A and B are shown apart, each in its own frame.
Chain A
């Protein structure tokens, strides 16, 4: 069973479209994250949620809106997609206490054309 699962794995879409990436974790963790990995493989945090509440928002454009319906799910909705949004988006989760291991999903490859 996959601990952190995200869908879709691959997404190709046109500029200007709105798309969502879904994430679910079955580890019982309280904290979930979205990370972005660019073409140079650099990983950077976008958002962090703890028990459905936004904790970290790393200066991400307003076009990106995370939504956490419950603590096992953290979805990422992107409006008006731009070419520069093409990247791999990783969902992750951990227990609440700082220092706890963060587990990553397999990634969603977004290509905007």
Chain B
């Protein structure tokens, strides 16, 4: 089935650093969503994007819906330890509510 390519697969952060991750698809999506999953929990919605070109912020998080509707990125500014977790992008097609997820970006703390 359809998949989103999410990168990087994992990254190490140091407190205070900015981090970026992105998703690309061969198909067009009407909605792009970014979720975060903490260990032992379900995915929690961070940001939802509904229009091509849209740039939306939620605190230290900023996400953009690509102009082509085939990509999106998420930036985290001034990272803190609790930013550790798995971040998922998800695309939603025009028909129906089905979400297609990226493979996730594991954000870890630099040793």
- Residues of chain A at the chain B interface (Cβ within 8 Å): 4, 31, 33, 40-45, 48, 55-56, 58, 90, 92, 94, 96, 98-107
Contact = CB atoms under 8 A, between A and B. Distances in A.
A21 to B, nearest CB: 13
B37 to A, nearest CB: 8
Contact of B97 (A31, A41, A42, A105): A31
A106 B103 CA distance: 19
A99 B50 contact: yes
B42 A56 contact: no
A105 B41 CA distance: 8
B42 A101 contact: no
A43 B43 contact: yes
A43 B98 contact: no
Contacts of B35: 104
A98 B88 CA distance: 19
A43 B97 contact: no
B80 interface: no
B33 interface: yes
B43 A99 contact: no
Given A43-B101, A92-B42, A101-B33, 8 more contacts: A33-B97, A41-B104, A90-B43, A98-B94, A99-B31, A99-B97, A104-B42, A107-B40
Contacts of B103: 40-42
* Ranked 10 nearest A-B pairs via Cβ: A104-B42, A43-B101, A99-B31, A106-B42, A104-B43, A107-B42, A41-B104, A90-B42, A105-B42, A94-B97
Contacts of B59: none
Contacts of A106: 40-42
A23 to B, nearest CB: 11
A107 B41 contact: yes
A90 B42 CA distance: 7
Contact of A99 (B1, B42, B92): B92
B99 A45 contact: yes
